[in-house]
Amino acid sequence: MVQRTHLTGARVVLPDGVVDNGRVTVEGTRIMAAGPAAGPAGGPAAGPAGEPAAGPAGGSAPGHADSGGERALDLALDLALDLAGGWIVPGFVDLHVHGGGGASFSAGTPEEALTAIGTHRRHGTTTMLASTVTGDLDDLARQAAALSELVEQGELAGIHFEGPFISPHRCGAHQPSLLRAPDPADVRKLVDAARGTARMMTLAPELPGGLESVRLLADSGVLAAVGHTDSTYEATLEAVEAGATVATHLFNAMPSLLHRAPGPVAALLEDERITVELINDGTHLHPAVLGLAFHRAGADRVAFITDAMGAAGMSDGRYPLGPMEVEVKDGVARISDGPTAGSIAGSTLTLDRAFRRAVTIDGLGVEAAVRALSATPARVLGIADRVGSLEPGKDADLVVLDDDFRLRGVMRRGAWVVHPELG
């Protein structure tokens, strides 16, 4: 018995626009159809919410020819869920997240990683990288080996190394004593430890070995990201030419954009080869700065990220971030002591909040916000054939929002993580 779920009545955001009174049909783990409710979406018309839709007796679908040329009966149970007044958007994709739910990917244990994954899934992030923080190389290699198993199991989309190859002048919430120049041999050690699951590494290209390491990463199929850098405009351009393709949380942990010293911000914004990460929590970036970057780069080059640490989805308090201690007050995370005390330490953001803020406060269109939270990061990771948009054949990863853009439901691979009616 095959179960088909027809989500009806909502505004559906498709790659080519918004469909009012649309329908998304899910069969198993895949999207079977997406489009207007009255169009050729496949499956019977919608019935009452949660009940089988009208169809052949017993819920059976038309038969099909098997390999022997005979007719075989393909039984299907058709369920319909009326989501009138809401929105259906693709599941969110986060390129940069360190933890959540009181847990951290840097702990290097499956239990903590799954807690963090579950927290962000309940907030609409159906695909994510696991981001590490600066630590001892051997410890980072151990973390990568542990996290790689979850990548292989399909729980994570890959590993993102943030540090230790970053500038001591722009280290932010990273332990200064553990920073080091990006020796290509050390870079290779971490990539190898991830056993083919390393997807991105943030580094400061102006450091000794920086450009060579960028080339190594690019040649290895790992995204080289410019971040936590004290680089000049000219040095950043060199990094882009060497193969860098991502800007790690643009504006944060890098020199400011000045009229006589444009620095990395201008170099990264102006180059069409670069996708820029932006943290849309209202703390990391002023709305005018976010708007400036978004409209200069465009939705196809912006990836909204959380950069969330373990306090995401939790209350204020003290939390670990790698070897550092973080205090969260009024939802803002800062290093609690040591030489970098007071520095913002990631965020407590979830992507459903980033989406709502983008539309209701920043004034972005729904379609643009969808691209920045789903389609663009999926393209960056090379998995746009599976996730990032609502199209037939792709994974049934989607988020249901109410008319005020608050999260109502989350589906991942055809299974409800948060049911729109049950919460």
- Distance from the Cα of residue 113 to its chain's centroid: 15
| DSSP assignment string, 124-174 | TEEEEEEEE-S--HHHHHHHHHHHHHHHHTTS-SEEEEE-SSS-GGG-TTS
Whether the CB-CB separation of 42 and 33 falls below 8 Å is answered with yes
| DSSP assignment string, 47-97 | -STTEEPS-SGGGBPPPEE-TTS-EE--BEEEEEEE-TT-EEEEPEEES-B
> How many CA atoms within 13 Å lie on the side-chain side of 286?
3
Distance from C-alpha of 143 to C-alpha of 20, rounded to nearest angstrom:
45
Whether 183 is catalytic is: no
Distance from C-alpha of 173 to C-alpha of 343, rounded to nearest angstrom:
6
Distance from C-alpha of 128 to C-alpha of 154, rounded to nearest angstrom:
10
To the nearest 10°, the Cα dihedral for 285, 286, 287, 289? Answer: -80
Distance from C-alpha of 337 to C-alpha of 329, rounded to nearest angstrom:
14
The residue written with tokens 């590494």 in the block is 201
Q: Report helix, strand or coil for 368.
A: helix
Cα maximum dimension of the chain: 75
Q: Report helix, strand or coil for 235.
A: helix
Q: Which of 271, 307, 362, 395 is catalytic?
A: 307
Residues annotated as catalytic (active site), given as ranges = 307
